[in-house]
Chains A and B, each alone.
Chain A
């Protein structure tokens, strides 16, 4: 349906004048604008009789097309004034000029009472070749018109508002005066009217009174096209149930035909197999169960009419003021103080810190040169004294006062038999070789004198070279002091296995499976074929293990990783003086059975054995240098304390000038 305000509907091209019938041309003077009529014809919106009547009697939604099953006599479609301007686009077979009684269907004619036939004839009687539609656009329906039947003239005048949808312009009125019979010239018959299935209006009780009484309304269903608003004679026509999909030909049939046919039909007897195939819904004795326990029925919104809908609307439409949350952080004074302190700390980080001027009596370079010169002269002086006078002019540690750990180590080595196997780990840095060689020289010399096979390893990549250097040095030293009728010492009993990779994990692996870590020595010899160094041997197969190290961490690693595997064989250590404070607790706990610490330990070991070695050679110089160094430390401490005291007194004097 086109909107009512659409002007194109009423303004058709003038070329359509050719299809205007003769009678319409004769009334051309009465039509304000002939284009309108043409337009109406062209659009096929000619005098939609049903819509006009519906509008006349206040039927809402009458602008929709009349239902097909209405079978309404066409004679009620002529009040063109009430034709919906935007009425149906159908050619309206029902709206054809049925005023011509000759074209009225016979069944309708037979249903009409004689009086009504006369009124109908007079209603659609032409005047001067045009249909008498009773009143014009300018005339109100309440105005009696000639040619209007009594039943129509007695109809209550609709309210002004009821004509809101009626044509208001003279052109529309003229278009509605077009006789519908000229449609026959276009070959349009009543059988071609398309069926309309769905009525789209609602009856109002106050508008039905003129045509249908209350009893008739009770007996007649308000279906299809407002049949209840027909006159009395028409209301007597038996109505039929609306057929939504009925074709136009069927809709034009007399209504009594189907009841007659239904009466003649015998009730169908469905076979049992067909009964069984019926849907359950059709065979169900009762209607589907509808849960009406929930009394809430939705009355508004898109879910109107549904029962049991969650009452979301109530929650949604609940209007309440949202809570107000303060965006101001609640900070206490303590928090603010901490924030301020943090800000000060952060700000202070970016500021350069003033370095207090160092009070120096002499420049640092001069002081450093002076200390170095004193130490160098002390060492050279001691060496000169040793060369000019009898060596060892400073007494070595007394053999009777040798530390217990040194004595334990010496005793364990002394008890070694010729078939014993000893593992020696050289784990010190080349930079400390001066101290470690002096400390371990006596111990290594003692092992060489015992003529036991030594396996040399190291967790330091440079350890194998240091081991070779020290062992060869001691072999040469012992051979130089060889007593008569004594076989010389050789390095054939010593096997350098090399470097243990992997740090702590490698050390642990070597302790558990030394043959897999070192299948061969550095020289490529297979060292695991002779007892006790067999392939399956662990570190426990060694008679003892000696670790020479300057690093307390390395010493602790050997204790932690190798000592548990080495048990019950003893673990001995030669450590630097700087590592002694860290390793001594392990000696006290029994994990290290013997220990030599630093040059003092080495000198004590040599003196205990009655041999002279590197430690003994260094001992005089060491003693004198240590004394001088101690004096320097004391002097430096006194000077520093004096300067600090002077600075403090000076500061106090500045703070309290009048005290």
Chain B
């Protein structure tokens, strides 16, 4: 009789190793092993999320005492109402609830973007000009000012037809956009470098897992669990 309590960890390690190899099989191109591993990951994640929502969100709410349940009545009704979206015939009935959700989400996003991003970052940009070192103010201020303006200019798509028939932007706009593309390239390069560093770290973690499994996995202990 296997020792199921102690078997979970080594068995999970073996399954993880196999799934890792299935994902790495993508080096040879798209294949059934890679697709199978992807589907397993998606299915496990969705199942776990469903169980978590049911036990973490719905059941605790329904288990509330009477007065709390009355307070939670409107959300429950709206939630049940939203289930009509699952039926193509009754889908239209769920539009008001969906509109309410989208409206509230949009309002929260817009207010948050204004008060949490735009205003503070604009304030920070102007604060950079208050450095005691005049050269820092000049250099940093120039970079911030030129980078911000030229980047915005780059996304200005207004153009006028020229006598030759070619549609072009105005010359100042064209110059600003040419400068702005360098700032955009630097930003995208930084993001790409960050992504590369992130995935390289993930790759190292997986290779370390494989290394450890190949050289450190206690096969004798694992076999002993079945005896």
Q: Which residues does A use to contact B, with CB under 8 Å?
A: 334, 337, 365, 368-369, 372, 375-376, 379-380, 383, 430-432, 434-435, 437-439, 461-462, 464-465, 498-499, 501, 503-505, 508, 519-520, 522, 524, 550, 556-557, 559-561, 563-564, 576-582, 585-586, 588-591, 598-600, 617-618, 621-622, 625-626, 629
Contact = CB atoms under 8 A, between A and B. Distances in A.
A334 B109 CA distance: 45
B205 A505 contact: no
B53 interface: yes
B165 A621 contact: no
Contacts of A564: 115-116
A379 B211 CA distance: 9
A577 B194 contact: yes
Interface string B194-209: 1111101111111110
B53 A461 contact: yes
Nearest to A503: B105
Contacts of B206: 434
A380 B207 contact: yes
B198 A578 contact: yes
Contacts of B194: 576-581, 598
Interface string B149-178: 000000000000100010000000000000
A589 B124 contact: yes
Given A504-B112, A559-B116, A586-B120, 5 more contacts: A376-B207, A434-B201, A461-B49, A508-B108, A557-B112
Given A369-B27, A561-B108, A379 B116 contact: no
Q: Dominant SS at the B interface?
A: helix
Contacts of B40: none
B197 A522 contact: no
A578 B187 CA distance: 12
Contacts of B108: 504-505, 508, 561
Interface residues of B, number: 50
Contacts of B205: 434-435, 437-438, 618
B117 A556 contact: yes
B110 to A, nearest CB: 10
Given A435-B205, A618-B204, A383 B211 contact: yes
B115 A560 contact: yes
19 contacts: A365-B29, A380-B207, A383-B207, A434-B204, A434-B206, A435-B201, A499-B52, A499-B53, A520-B60, A550-B198, A559-B116, A559-B117, A560-B115, A577-B198, A578-B198, A580-B194, A589-B124, A590-B120, A625-B204
B56 A498 contact: yes
B57 interface: yes
A379 B203 contact: yes
A372 B201 CA distance: 15
A585 B28 CA distance: 41
Mostly, the A contact residues are: helix
Interface string B32-52: 000000000100010011001
A635 to B, nearest CB: 15
Contacts of B193: 577
A337 B165 CA distance: 9
A308 B194 CA distance: 92
A369 B52 CA distance: 40
Contact of B201 (A380, A498, A503, A577): A577
A617 B56 CA distance: 36
Contacts of A600: 197
B45 A430 contact: yes
Contact of A578 (B60, B120, B195): B195
A626 B41 CA distance: 28
A292 to B, nearest CB: 69
Contacts of A563: 116
B138 interface: no
B204 A372 contact: no
Interface in B89-116: 101, 104-105, 108-109, 112-113, 115-116
Contacts of B204: 379, 434, 618, 621-622, 625
B67 interface: no
B14 interface: no
A617 B161 CA distance: 61
Contact of A629 (B28, B116, B200, B207): B200
